Copies of this chain bind each other. A is one copy, B any other.
Amino acid sequence: MPGYTHLEGLTSADIARLRATYAPLAESVRHLIDATIRSEVDADEVAAVKADIDRATARLQAKQIDGPFGVRFTSDGDRLPWGNPAIGLRNPIAPPLVMVKDPDGAIHTDFHLGAAYEGPPGHVHGGIVAMVLDHVLGEVAASDPDSPRFTGTLTIRYLRATPLGALHAEGRITRTDGIKAFASGRVSDADGVTAEADGVFILPKWARR
């Protein structure tokens, strides 16, 4: 499968070093995204800041991966989905979601969404809610790294608007049937569930044995 790069020879210490280098950069860019949306400084100041950002971008581009990040594996088999827009620690678009596996096989994540994820005023864009649920359900359905499953069908029921701020999402497999896994999940705030989802996830042909 193209794009699944094995980083042979990278030790756990190398991975830790790369994480310590790039995670703080992405976090800084997340703050910049928020400020870009909310700033009220004048046009001259915005133009000056834009020029600084363009210079910063050029410095980062001096040496870069050819193409998107892909999913990289270490020689120990660790997965590094660092470019992922839901969980990628190098992707400033990602909140990033941190997935926690529960003893019973379910997965949950506690996260915070700010101005960058706003649809209806003060509330999370319905499409971002969909992205969170797609990712949580996909992750629980693909919990066996040798059997990556991709989303077949995803149905989301929006019970009420999801407020910006502290949120929780969780998912679990409800049933498997050959190449299919059925998963369900939900997003909630402190007052309860705001959206529910059911998904059917399918093992791709290239991964079937």
Count of chain A residues with Cβ under 8 Å from any Cβ of B?
90
Interfacial residues of chain A within 1-43, with CB under 8 A of chain B in the complex: 1-4, 17, 20-22, 24-26, 28-29, 31-33, 35-41, 43
Compute how far the CA of A203 lies from the CA of B2 in the bound complex, rounded to whole angstroms: 45
Among A17, A33, A45, A155, the most chain B Cβ lie within 10 Å of the Cβ of: A33
Does A127 lie at the interface of the complex (its beta carbon under 8 Å from any beta carbon of B)?
yes
Tell whether, in the assembled complex, residue A83 and residue B118 are in contact, meaning their CB atoms are under 8 Å apart.
Answer: yes
Among A41, A43, A62, A119, the most chain B Cβ lie within 10 Å of the Cβ of: A119
Kindly list chain B residues whose C-beta atoms are within 8 Å of the C-beta of A85: 116-119, 125, 127-128
Does A53 lie at the interface of the complex (its beta carbon under 8 Å from any beta carbon of B)?
yes
Tell whether, in the assembled complex, residue B68 and residue A2 are in contact, meaning their CB atoms are under 8 Å apart.
Answer: no
Q: A127-B132, A158-B153 are in contact. Are A56 and B32 (CB under 8 A)?
A: yes
Kindly list chain B residues whose C-beta atoms are within 8 Å of the C-beta of A91: 33, 36-37, 116
Q: A121-B4, A125-B135 are in contact. Are A60 and B68 (CB under 8 A)?
A: no
Tell whether, in the assembled complex, residue B151 and residue A158 are in contact, meaning their CB atoms are under 8 Å apart.
Answer: yes
A56 to chain B, nearest CB (A): 5
Does A92 lie at the interface of the complex (its beta carbon under 8 Å from any beta carbon of B)?
yes
The residue of chain B having its C-beta at the shortest distance from the C-beta of A27 within the complex is B50
What are 21 A-B pairs with beta-carbon distances under 8 A? A3-B121, A24-B50, A25-B53, A29-B29, A37-B69, A38-B65, A38-B69, A39-B60, A39-B61, A39-B64, A39-B65, A52-B56, A53-B53, A68-B114, A83-B118, A126-B135, A127-B134, A130-B130, A151-B156, A154-B155, A155-B155
Top 3 closest pairs, chain A to chain B, by CB: A3-B121, A127-B131, A68-B115
